[in-house]
């Protein structure tokens, strides 16, 4: 075996260690098939060389070399770096997202918002795994063992985590955009006006849900690219403490997103298995309107109860599921209702007594 | 504008400290009329500050929108807070269905007949509809 292949092999081996640590943290109970995960990880790996390939093509066709154009046309170095990092951040995020979209298109793996988030994290892991192999093998001869170890630890811990954060956030918004019809319907019922979605919908002459979809994807891309650019910028100027805090904060944010009830909702169901509503459409619309009104009035306990009963009649209604999850998220976040919620969800057999007591409590509170 | 009629009649009760009324609502309660109709019910609360019970007779009620359910919940809260009772009579299956899903049937009893509902208000004392009050029954045609 020649020296280059050996270095590449060792680099790949050590780069695989953090991947083996991160994957169980996010995919232990994901419910996504292992084959799908393996394929996505592999596609994620290929996205890094794809980016290198683009840069290689710029060498052949310099007229398309955007990076050189930025470097030569912006004289102020700090501004040039910002633009450069935004551009590369965008390129990386779009490429990683592309991998998730391919998998979702082929396997319909994204059934919840969290699925999209997790799959994006996996694509990012594949991407940074390949990147780590590249950097480690490149720096093998030029750095001392100690320096190389430092680079390895930093890249495995912080850079890899940073990639997961950027992609995870973009994935989260991709997930939301995928279920834009249900989410737009729910938002309509609570009277939320989304001006940007409305503008995009008018501009593109598409339904409002499509406008919301496009807006959400753009929002996710914008946040991910901005964070990516800030991260790269800080790295460029070696401000390590903020980088570390930035990554820890981002990681906690990802964990928070993954724990939200809304993210766990299974919004993609097989149409052939979809159960018909046992409630007349006109009557159901009245109740949905009421849900919107009471959600807006922050009557989350009532919303939760109505949703429970409504789902008994119409188990596959995604708008009701969204209301329920959002009300639960709100209740878990608020102190006043926390105890009530604990009793609400404890005993399912005692539904009527429980309902009565909770609504009575609510009315007492309201009238006092 | 949808058509909705409200007739308010007194019910005789044995206890002189208590008052009870039958509120007969017919037609369709929707966005075009619910706010003005609701105000008429709130007027009763002003006229009778305490110990008021209401029987909502929904025999002729075909549709109620979300806002009207919100009002009904509020009326229930206000009346029970002041020591009164609220019952519903003769609600159509679709109205009952909505009230059940919303959870109001767990707070407000629904009776198949108006007499049963009146009886429940009077705690077992047989009742009769009061003769027309001084102003007579209030009727609103929209």
Q: What's B112's DSSP letter? A: S
DSSP calls for B20-70 = EEEEEEEEEE-TTTHHHHHHHHHHHHHHS-SSEEEEEE-TTEEEE-HHHHH
Tell me the C-alpha distance between B28 and B34, whole Å: 9
**Residues comprising chain B, all counted:** 142
Tell me the C-alpha distance between A61 and A273, whole Å: 52
B136 Cα to chain A: minimum distance (Å) = 32
> What tokens were used for B34?
């619910």
- Best mutation target among A188, A282, A290, A303 (most B Cβ atoms within 10 Å) is A290
Q: Is B113 helix (H, G, I), strand (E, B) or coil?
A: coil
Residue A325 has what pLDDT? 85
B107 to chain A: closest CA residue: A356
Tell me the C-alpha distance between B102 and A286, whole Å: 10
Select B4-141's CATH number: 3.30.750.24, 3.30.70.270, 3.40.120.10, 3.40.190.80. Answer: 3.30.750.24
**Residues comprising chain A, all counted:** 368
End-to-end CA distance of chain B: 8
Domain coordinates of chain A in residue numbers? Answer: 3-264, 271-367
pLDDT digits (tens, 9 = 90+) for B15-53: 778 889 999 999 999 989 999 989 989 999 888 877 899
- Give the nearest partner residue to B66 out of A280, A293, A359, using CB atoms: A293
Tell me the C-alpha distance between A147 and A346, whole Å: 55
Chain A residues touching B66 at Cβ < 8 A = 286-290, 292-293
A352:B67 CB<8 A: no
Mean pLDDT of A132-138: 90
Q: Is B76 on the interface with A (CB under 8 A)?
A: yes
* Bridge partner residues of B52 (DSSP): B19
Q: What's A62's DSSP letter? A: G
- Give the nearest partner residue to A289 out of B66, B73, B94, using CB atoms: B66
A355:B66 CB<8 A: no
Confidence class of residue A269 from pLDDT cuts 50, 70 and 90?
low
* A104 and A32 Cβ atoms separated by less than 8 Å: no
Mean pLDDT of A38-45: 91
Residue A344 has what pLDDT? 43
- Give the nearest partner residue to B101 out of A289, A310, A367, using CB atoms: A310
| A220 pLDDT more than 60 | yes
Tell me the C-alpha distance between B50 and B46, whole Å: 9
B91 Cα to chain A: minimum distance (Å) = 14
A366 Cα to chain B: minimum distance (Å) = 8
Q: Is B101 on the interface with A (CB under 8 A)?
A: yes
User: In tens digits, what is the pLDDT along chain B, a chain of 142 residues?
Assistant: 678 889 999 888 877 788 899 999 999 999 899 999 899 899 998 888 778 999 999 999 999 999 999 999 999 999 998 888 999 999 999 999 999 999 899 889 999 999 999 888 876 444 444 433 333 333 333 3
- Give the nearest partner residue to B70 out of A282, A293, A359, using CB atoms: A293
What is the rounded average pLDDT for all residues in chain A?
A: 82
Q: What's B130's DSSP letter? A: P
Residue A272 has what pLDDT? 59
Chain B residues touching A189 at Cβ < 8 A = none
Chain A residues touching B82 at Cβ < 8 A = none
* B72 and B104 Cβ atoms separated by less than 8 Å: yes
Tell me the C-alpha distance between A223 and A231, whole Å: 12
Residue A345 has what pLDDT? 44
Confidence class of residue A107 from pLDDT cuts 50, 70 and 90?
confident
* A320 and B74 Cβ atoms separated by less than 8 Å: no
ipTM over 0.95: no
pLDDT digits (tens, 9 = 90+) for A337-350: 344 344 444 343 44
Tell me the C-alpha distance between B53 and B21, whole Å: 6
Tell me the C-alpha distance between A109 and A107, whole Å: 5
Establish how many alpha carbons lie within 13 A of residue A105's alpha carbon, considering only the half-sphere containing its beta carbon.
Answer: 6
- Could you tell me which of B75, B110, B73 has the C-alpha nearest to residue B89? B110
| A124 pLDDT more than 50 | yes
End-to-end CA distance of chain A: 82
Instruction: Give the phi and the psi of residue A2 in degrees, each rounded to 5.
Output: -80, 170
Residues 292-351 of A with CB under 8 A from B: 292-294, 302, 305-306, 309-310, 313
**Cα–Cα separations (whole angstroms), residue B12 to A9, A16, B127:** 94, 84, 6
Domain coordinates of chain B in residue numbers? Answer: 4-141
């Amino acid at each position: 075996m020649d020296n280059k292949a050996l270095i590449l092999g060792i680099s790949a081996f050590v780069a695989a260690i953090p991947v083996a640590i991160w994957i169980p943290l996010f995919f232990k109970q994901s419910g996504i098939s292992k084959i799908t995960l393996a394929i996505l990880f592999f596609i994620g790996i290929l996205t890094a060389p794809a980016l290198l390939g683009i840069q290689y093509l710029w060498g052949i066709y310099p007229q398309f070399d955007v990076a050189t154009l930025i470097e030569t046309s912006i004289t102020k170095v700090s501004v040039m770096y910002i633009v450069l990092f935004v551009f590369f951040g965008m390129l990386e995020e779009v490429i990683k997202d592309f991998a998730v979209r391919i998998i979702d298109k082929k396997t319909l793996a994204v059934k919840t918002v969290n699925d999209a988030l997790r799959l994006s994290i996996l694509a990012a892991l594949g991407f940074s795994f390949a990147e780590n192999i590249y950097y480690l093998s490149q720096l093998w001869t030029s750095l001392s063992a100690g320096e190389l170890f430092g680079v390895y630890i930093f890249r495995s811990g912080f850079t890899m985590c940073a990639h997961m954060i950027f992609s995870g956030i973009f994935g989260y918004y991709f997930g939301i955009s995928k279920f834009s019809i249900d989410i737009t319907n729910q938002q309509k019922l609570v009277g939320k006006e989304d001006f940007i979605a409305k503008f995009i919908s008018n501009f593109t002459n598409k339904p409002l849900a499509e406008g919301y979809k496009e807006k959400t994807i753009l929002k996710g891309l914008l946040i991910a690219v901005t964070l990516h650019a800030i991260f790269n910028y800080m790295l460029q100027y070696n401000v390590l403490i903020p980088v570390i805090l930035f990554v820890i904060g981002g990681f906690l944010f990802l964990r928070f997103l993954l724990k939200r009830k809304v993210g766990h909702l299974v919004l993609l169901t097989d149409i052939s298995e979809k159960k018909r509503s046992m409630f007349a459409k006109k009557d159901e619309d009245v109740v949905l309107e009421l849900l919107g009104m009471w959600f807006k009035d922050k009557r989350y306990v009532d919303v939760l109860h109505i949703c429970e009963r409504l789902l008994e009649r119409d188990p596959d209604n995604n708008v009701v599921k969204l209301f329920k999850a959002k009300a639960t998220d709100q209740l878990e976040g608020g102190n006043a209702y926390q105890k009530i919620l604990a009793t609400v969800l404890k005993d399912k057999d005692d539904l009527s007594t429980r309902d009565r007591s909770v609504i009575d409590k609510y009315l007492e509170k309201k009238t006092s | 504008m949808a058509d909705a009629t409200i007739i308010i009649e007194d019910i005789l009760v044995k206890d002189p400290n208590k008052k009870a009324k039958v509120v007969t609502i017919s037609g369709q309660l929707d966005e075009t009329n619910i706010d003005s109709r609701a105000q008429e019910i709130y007027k009763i609360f002003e006229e009778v500050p305490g110990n008021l019970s209401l029987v909502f007779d929904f025999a002729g009620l075909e549709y109620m929108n979300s806002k009207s359910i919100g009002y009904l919940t509020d009326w229930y809260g206000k009346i029970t807070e002041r020591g009164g009772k609220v019952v519903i009579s003769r609600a159509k299956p679709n109205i009952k269905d909505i009230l059940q899903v919303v959870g109001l049937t767990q707070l407000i009893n629904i009776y198949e007949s108006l007499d049963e509902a009146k009886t429940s208000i009077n705690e077992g004392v047989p009742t009769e509809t009061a003769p027309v009050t001084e102003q007579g029954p209030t009727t609103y045609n929209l």
